[in-house]
Amino acid sequence: MEQLFTFGIVGLSTAAIYAIIGSGLVLTYTTTGVFNFAHGAAGMMAAFAYWQLTEGWGLPVPLALILVLVVLAPAFGLLVERLVLRPIQGLGDAERLVMTVAMLSGLIAAARWIWDPNEARSLPRFFENTDAIDIGPATVTWHQALTMIVAVAVAIGLRILLYGTRIGAEMRASVDDRALVGLTGANPVRSNQVAWILGTQLAAVGGILIAPAVSLDASQLSLLIVSAYTAAIFGRLRSLPLTFLGAVVVGCLESYLTGYLPQNDYLPGLRLAAPALLLFLSLLVFPHRRLRGRDTKARPVPSPSLQGTLLFAGAVVLFGLVLASLLGEGDLITYGQIFSFGVIALSYVPLAGYAGQISLCQLSMAGIGAAVWAHAGADGQLWALPLAVVIAGAAGALIALPALRLSGVYLALGTTAFAVILDRWIFTLPSFEVLGLNISLFDGGTVDVAGPSLFGWRLDDGSELMVFAAVWLALASLAIAVLRRGRFGRQLIALRDSEAAYATLGGNLLLSKVAVFALSAGIAGLGGALYGMQQRSVTAEQFGLVAGLPLFLVAVVGGLTAVGNGLFTGVAVGGSFPVISAAGAFAQNITSVLPALAGLGLARNPDGAVPEIRSGYEPLGRNKPVLGGLVVALAGLWVLQLQDVLDGWLTFGLALFLIVAAQAAATALEQARAARSTDTDVPVEWWGVRREWRREDEEVLARGIAGG
């Protein structure tokens, strides 16, 4: 009985913190329309900053609190509003989501950069030396009492602010109709600023209050937000009282699970995963409508030509061959990731690019693929590879079924929850048996991974494995291109453009969604297996939610609808990051922040980099002499390197230079030719037929039509 009370009080005081963080989340969502995935990360930063000020530099607690809550948090909120959110005001849900995911990833990376994660840090509780209060059979520490008092104050304060003041009305009005807010003479930017300042402050309060109870770890603190998400979903992202209720449910659940869950090897993870499980369930149970707002029009999806894709696939294999012939064994392991990451990133193309379903658990699917291959293909049996794909695909279908009703932010949340459940619980399990089936994933640690055996020919050195992975990336890219051009591809795009329209047109929503989730999880699983082979051994941490964010962000930056995305992301994450990291620890830190920065740049170019790169290199593709010259020169470099005439970095630099120079030359030549042909008078209706279509033409035509 006494225990029941004690755990109840612990639960309520945790609940109070979740309520504070969750209400900040609801506040920013209802008043700016942006669901902030980085909300918890902002609280994490605040906790670290507070630690730095008090424990690090020895400032008195009140002063540190004022600095963090009144100076740093508002400044951060304003900065985020100005730099991150204002540019995406006019963009769609997906872009907003990416921006805050980028912020989450970036803040975690930044915190790890500033505060070395290998050093243990802890914060004391408030009023640690004051005696606890006795209430009947239980005791309440002053820290616990404080959290509850703060939560109640926050609840009352927010209520008054939103429903009792003009700025509150202004904040709510700006979600309804920003333009109209401007017409009334109010300042729509100001209400957003107030919302971000308050939201960040609430996150900061929550972060500082919860930090003493957990270790000061960047990703762990950021992911405490999962509990606050759950609370916010209870409130359907709009009701503050229900958010508080949700917080109580989550807080108490966690606390009682700690107290009453039997101790064995299988269940501790369940406690850690419980908020995520609850989040998943509450997403399914609570009806939610999308926030009203003008949706931006969907961008067109390019349809790659078969010939072009074949060429591309050939180039991928050639690239793999050349790289494999040049690199030493150590580098092969490092850069081998290019192709396996490429395959994993490619899995976003059908799912997020074509079907518009944003999933944040693709790397977890890769983890399943890797684990299946590691066990079933322990002796390199080739049949284990399709098995890995099928099992990862099945896991994908498993998410799709409940996620059928979710879209946008809710789907992203659901897949986040799924990734966390895998991370914290399933992947940490030792081998277990279900229905007579012996299942082992990472055996609670590291598992060794073997290379495949191709009809008796065992691939086990790095160069062979690299080519093997390159071939798979080429095949997968081809398959996606074929898919895009076929009926299923068109169906997926129709589904993205309007689920309702798709259903009324007689499309089978259930089947298509499950199919695309399974397909993309299968591809990710393949990528995971290839990654495992390359690494020789894998652990669960390599496939965690946070580890997957950079891959997702870089894929978004590449352009989710482009088939070339696989190679782009692979080269960026698996190739260029190790190259930069080679320059030392500082550079390594930069690479961990890079995906986030790139993601934040998305607002400037929502179509992604791959289409841009492709159109930049089109002149080179058309100019056969220059292209031929480039190929010959690169081949020459390759031979020289093989003969050890040149050394690695020099070859790399020269090759890069040659490619860029050839591209510039081809573009310049083409422009010169275009300039010469301007004078020849081609009638308007033959533009684009008898002579090439030019950028200016569009404007000339528009003027003509409008003036007509």
Partner 1 sequence: MTPLLELRDVRAAYGKITVLHGVSVSVSAGQVVALLGPNGAGKTTSLNVAAGTHPVQSGQLILGGRDMTGANPRDLARAGICLIPEGRGVFPNLSVRDNLLMMTFTGHSRAEIEAVAFERFPILAKRANQPAGSMSGGEQQMLALARGLATDPAVLLLDELSMGLAPLVVGRLYEQVAEIARQGVGVLVVEQFAAAVLGIADHAAVMVRGRVEREGAPDSELRAELSALYLGSST
Q: Which residues bind partner 1 (CB under 8 A)?
A: 166, 169-170, 172-173, 175-177, 179-187, 292, 698-699, 702-703, 705-707
**Choice between 622 and 703, CB closer to partner 1:** 703
List % helix, strand, coil for the chain (3-state, nearest 5).
75, 5, 25
Minimum distance of partner 1 from residue 84's CB (angstroms):
22
389 SS3 class: helix
CA atoms of 74 and 662, how far apart (whole Å): 49
Minimum distance of partner 1 from residue 239's CB (angstroms):
13
**How many C-beta atoms lie closer than 10 Å to residue 451's C-beta?**
19
- E strands, 181-234, where? none
Minimum distance of partner 1 from residue 179's CB (angstroms):
6
Minimum distance of partner 1 from residue 292's CB (angstroms):
8
Minimum distance of partner 1 from residue 80's CB (angstroms):
23
CA atoms of 542 and 367, how far apart (whole Å): 8
CA atoms of 15 and 251, how far apart (whole Å): 4
Paired strand residues for 454 = 457
Minimum distance of partner 1 from residue 50's CB (angstroms):
37
Minimum distance of partner 1 from residue 175's CB (angstroms):
7
Residue 623 dihedral angles phi and psi, to the nearest 5°:
-90, 90
**Choice between 176 and 692, CB closer to partner 1:** 176
On whether the CB atoms of residues 567 and 370 are closer than 8 A, the answer is no
**Choice between 285 and 701, CB closer to partner 1:** 701
Minimum distance of partner 1 from residue 159's CB (angstroms):
14
Minimum distance of partner 1 from residue 170's CB (angstroms):
7
**Choice between 58 and 708, CB closer to partner 1:** 708
CA atoms of 421 and 232, how far apart (whole Å): 19
Minimum distance of partner 1 from residue 32's CB (angstroms):
14
**Choice between 292 and 676, CB closer to partner 1:** 292
CA atoms of 458 and 533, how far apart (whole Å): 12
Minimum distance of partner 1 from residue 29's CB (angstroms):
14
- E strands, 26-110, where? none
Paired strand residues for 539 = 446
Tokens 């453009």 correspond to 497
**Choice between 295 and 698, CB closer to partner 1:** 698
CA atoms of 111 and 206, how far apart (whole Å): 17
CA atoms of 484 and 502, how far apart (whole Å): 17
**Choice between 1 and 705, CB closer to partner 1:** 705
CA-to-CA separations, 156 to 160, 164, 205, 575, in angstroms, rounded:
6, 11, 16, 52
* DSSP state for residue 265 in the 8-state scheme: S
On whether the CB atoms of residues 49 and 72 are closer than 8 A, the answer is yes
**Choice between 179 and 585, CB closer to partner 1:** 179
On whether the CB atoms of residues 377 and 384 are closer than 8 A, the answer is yes
On whether the CB atoms of residues 617 and 663 are closer than 8 A, the answer is yes
**Choice between 186 and 482, CB closer to partner 1:** 186
**Choice between 120 and 705, CB closer to partner 1:** 705
Q: Over the Cα atoms of the chain, what is R_g?
A: 27
**Choice between 292 and 297, CB closer to partner 1:** 292
On whether the CB atoms of residues 133 and 142 are closer than 8 A, the answer is yes
Q: Who's near 500: CB < 8 A, 6+ residues apart?
A: none
